[in-house]
Amino acid sequence: MAKAAKTTLALTRDQFRDHAQSVAVVINGKEFKVPKKEFSTGSLGWYLNEKMDVTIDGVDVKVQIGLNLTIVGSKELPGGAPAEAQAAPPKPAASAAPAAPPGPVGTNDKGEADF
């Protein structure tokens, strides 16, 4: 089977950074504002990680939502590393003791992801 041709975008990373807005998504009647994100892979899109209750036969159960909306072809845009990764200092050499895992990820009051 032939491989599909790569998608070419008329969008730039700076346009995404400066102008992309949160995307509204409704799940089971609840609206979520999904903040834009530059993924560690270099792709651009939107990311949501939340929990909500869903009722099954009168019983509330907690569910976890993991949602990625990725702009097809965005990984190939020039300047592939996310803005925060470009400015990050080099990582120190690994130590003998493993580092503690990062805390939970959420969003701020503007609906932007705190990563």
Under DSSP, the state recorded for 55 is E
The answer to the question of residue 96 being in a domain is no
The answer to the question of residue 104 being in a domain is no
The answer to the question of residue 44 being in a domain is yes
The amino acid occupying position 42 is G
The answer to the question of residue 106 being in a domain is no
- Which of 16, 21, 55, 18 has the alpha carbon at shortest distance from 39? 16
**∠ CA 61-67-70, rounded to 5°:** 170
Residue 105 is encoded by which pair of tokens?
A: 């990820």
- pLDDT tens across 56-112, in order? 999 999 999 999 999 999 999 998 765 555 555 556 666 666 665 555 556 666 666
Under DSSP, the state recorded for 13 is H
Could you list the residue range(s) of the whole structural domain that residue 64 is in?
A: 8-75
The answer to the question of residue 101 being in a domain is no
The answer to the question of residue 25 being in a domain is yes
Number of domains the chain contains: 1
pTM of the predicted protein model:
0.64
